[in-house]
Amino acid sequence: MKDELFNDLLKSVEEAGAIRKGGKAAECVYVYKGKILVEIRENDKVVWTLDLAADKLRSSKGKKNDAKVIREALRQTQEGFAELLGVSVRTLQNWEQGRRDPQGPAERLLNVASRHPVELLDSIQAA
């Protein structure tokens, strides 16, 4: 067993060296719930989560209800973000392109999505 463990460790060190030198790309795994990106892993290490992105977005300055800014900060596709919000892709595109402005409940929904996307995702899955 010790030889097997040593060989695994040696292989990992060699892989890390190859990645660092640019000889081998890091393995990226994107984890989705439906169309919504929730986690990114590189070589089995979590490097991004939807929750961390929301923390960063909450601490940033700027327009808080800009659909495109929020979507990009959360690394979502239009399809994924529309699914998270429960709106059509077309509605989201209209907001992003300035043809329409989210108002009332839609504006509040964007605010919730920017602050608590994981809770919003959980509420979708519970329904």
Domain boundaries, the chain: 28-126
User: Top-level CATH class of 28-126?
Assistant: mainly alpha
44-85 tens-digit pLDDT: 899 999 999 999 998 887 666 899 999 999 999 999 999 999
For residue 66, give the 3-state DSSP assignment: coil
Q: Give the bridge partners for 31, in sequence order.
A: 39
- The amino acid sitting at 47 is V
Q: pLDDT class for 120, splitting at 50, 70, 90?
A: very high
Instruction: State the pLDDT at residue 60.
Output: 83
Q: What is the pLDDT of residue 62?
A: 66
Output the six-digit token pair for 38: 């929730």
Per-residue model confidence as pLDDT tens digits over 4-23: 777 777 777 887 777 777 77
- pLDDT computed for residue 122 by the predictor: 94
